[in-house]
Chains A and B, each alone.
Chain A
């Protein structure tokens, strides 16, 4: 099993390499360059030229990429052009906020989405189902930045009970968590419902019922364990999504996270930060996928057996 995961980790390398190429190309395609941004509107062409040279921006692109890559392999993602701080340090400084948000968002999504989906499936084709399903569909359809603004309007302006920005206390986390989690919540609710309906019809559930064990046991032991497998998959995918979604949340609620760092860096053409940040994101997505696979093995002995036999 360890072997399987080592193999998976190794497979991550070409993907990360690809990501680094893609993002490097995109970043360098953009008009303007960091030298101009750094020196501001009053800089002379000469100053800009000098700085450009100093930043190594005059070298051919492939050379620049090679330098970036070899340094990255050594764990050195360079220094931010804007703040001159080591990129890795900036990322690690911002990452906890993003991770906290993404995790809380996921927690919210699961604690609300799962029961919603279960309820809808148990009451299939009743008004309860219709309500839950509609609610999930709405959650899936409303733009989360709008949810953020409306929440802010309601809870910070009309009834001012929650702070609208910052990252100092648990109160700061409530609205961002909802905004970040709402879409995932909807997806999980929908997935849970359809997965429940599928599982409920399985013969083994009927078998379990035929044993005369309590409904709760049938639900928790026989149904939910099986429902969780696809739900975990989708939650894993959406965790990656949330990591991207933090961009919006962090912007609206002025939270110093990784998403905003990268977006600001894209706008300021802070190449090293963009490259490092996106690479870091990709790594996170890869690791989350791996964790999901690991979770499968815990949930499903068949998959565990597959991992074991995999060379």
Chain B
């Protein structure tokens, strides 16, 4: 829609922009986001999923870990919407509960990646020079190892656990946050308010925390939203390979993995968890795209 920007003066510099200035920039982002139908749909699904995850015990018709081998491997029916697995556990309940793990893993892993990557990027970008060089070389090293293999090796070394899974995914995502934050830091670093803060003798830590980081928020938020989607995918991949999730925890990747042996006779065991993963990741990606466009109208297409 911005095709017209070159030929028609957009709101920049005109009265309209002046009017908007009174409102906070976040309100402006929200206003733009609201108008993006796809992003709103994505956001709705994400919120719905959060809701499902929080209220899983109320929504799930059965205890997800209740085994009953008498009713094992039943195809979907009115009683068991998604059938039952090889222990007679209700797949629907397990898929519902699985949303908890997936979202949890996604957010924590991204938290780990964003916090540590962010710190490294901010420090590197702020101080520059050799330290920066060293940090970025380290990131290059991490980037040179294919993500999945790095994560598998890390889980292999630390042992199989949910926490280690999140650490592995977080570490393998580190470089991208470091890069994003570093780039923003570099642009912010030279600006007047940073110079001013330095002049009044603010400590470096304080400048980074109070002046620099808030100005890097937009790219971090966008990167994180998309990062959560990818972290969920990565975590599902690892648990599909049998790393990370302890049974009988209902987690989509490991449900897929154990359903795989029944692919021929009970394909619904692999079908539904896969659909669930796809929907979450899709919703997060759509939402992330919309958020990016809203935060940076120049990127809008």
Contacts and interface: CB of A to CB of B under 8 A. Distances in A.
B137 A18 contact: yes
Contacts of A16: 144
Contacts, number: 131
Given A145-B237, A201-B6, A247 B153 contact: no
A14 B156 CA distance: 25
Interface in B161-211: none
A142 B282 CA distance: 8
B281 interface: yes
Given A30-B156, A142-B274, A248 B237 contact: yes
A143 B146 contact: no
A179 interface: no
A240 B281 contact: no
Contacts of A87: none
Contact of A259 (B149, B236, B237, B282): B149
Interface string A150-166: 10110001000000000
B141 A149 contact: no
Query: Which DSSP category, helix, strand, loop or mixed, fits chain B's interface?
Result: helix
A57 interface: no
B10 interface: no
Interface string B138-155: 101111111111001110
Contacts of A15: 137, 140-141, 144
A194 B1 CA distance: 13
Q: For chain A, which range describes its interface: under 10, 10 to 19, 20 to 34, or 35 or more residues?
A: 35 or more
Given A150-B274, A259-B149, A281-B146, A19 B156 contact: no
A26 B148 CA distance: 14
B148 A247 contact: yes
Contacts of A140: 285
Contacts of A30: 156-157
Contacts of B137: 14-15, 18
B141 to A, nearest CB: 3
A291 interface: no
Nearest to B252: A143
B247 to A, nearest CB: 18
A244 interface: yes
A145 B256 contact: yes
A241 interface: yes
B84 to A, nearest CB: 19
Contacts of B289: 137
A149 B260 contact: yes
B285 A137 contact: yes
Contacts of B144: 15-16, 18-19, 281-282, 285-286
B89 to A, nearest CB: 20
Interface of B: 1, 3, 6, 137-138, 140-149, 152-154, 156-159, 229, 233, 236-237, 240-241, 253, 256, 260, 263-264, 267, 270-271, 274, 277-278, 281-282, 285-286, 289, 301
8 tightest CB-CB pairs across the interface, nearest first?
A: A244-B146, A18-B141, A146-B274, A141-B282, A29-B157, A141-B281, A282-B144, A142-B278
17 contacts: A26-B154, A143-B237, A143-B274, A146-B270, A153-B263, A201-B3, A241-B146, A244-B146, A245-B146, A247-B149, A248-B237, A251-B241, A266-B153, A278-B153, A282-B144, A282-B145, A285-B146
